[in-house]
């Protein structure tokens, strides 16, 4: 299935979840400061493994970083 992951086309396996997309992005799924939106709607962390993605959806994964 094809999705747009952080603005870039990405191929994920059929039945992939939000959690799979987070892992594919390189973000640490269990790390603090990670947020996900699918088609502009925030997905709560507790639902990442239950929300199945569909072909053509837009997935935005944001990771807070500390720096100076």
**Do 54 and 21 meet the contact criterion of CB atoms below 8 Å apart?**
no
Mean pLDDT of 30-52: 95
What global pTM score does this model have?
Answer: 0.89
Grade residue 68 by pLDDT with cuts at 50, 70 and 90.
Answer: low
Grade residue 32 by pLDDT with cuts at 50, 70 and 90.
Answer: confident
Residue span of the structural domain in which 43 resides: 2-63
Percentage of the chain modeled with pLDDT above 70? 99
44 within a domain of the structure (yes/no) = yes
Q: Provide CB contacts within 8 A for 15, sequence distance 6+.
A: 52
- Phi then psi for residue 37, to 5 deg, are -130, 140
Grade residue 66 by pLDDT with cuts at 50, 70 and 90.
Answer: confident
In total, how many domains does the chain have? 1
Give me the residues paired with residue 63 across strands.
34
Instruction: Give just the sign of the alpha carbon dihedral 27, 7, 49, 34.
Output: positive
CATH number, domain containing residue 24: 3.10.20.30
68 within a domain of the structure (yes/no) = no
């Amino acid at each position: 299935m094809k999705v747009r992951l952080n603005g870039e086309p990405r191929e994920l396996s059929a039945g992939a979840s939000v959690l799979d997309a987070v892992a594919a992005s390189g973000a640490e799924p269990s790390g603090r400061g990670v947020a996900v939106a699918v088609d502009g709607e925030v997905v709560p962390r507790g639902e990442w493994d239950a929300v199945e993605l569909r072909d053509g959806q837009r997935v935005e994964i944001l990771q807070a970083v500390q720096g100076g």
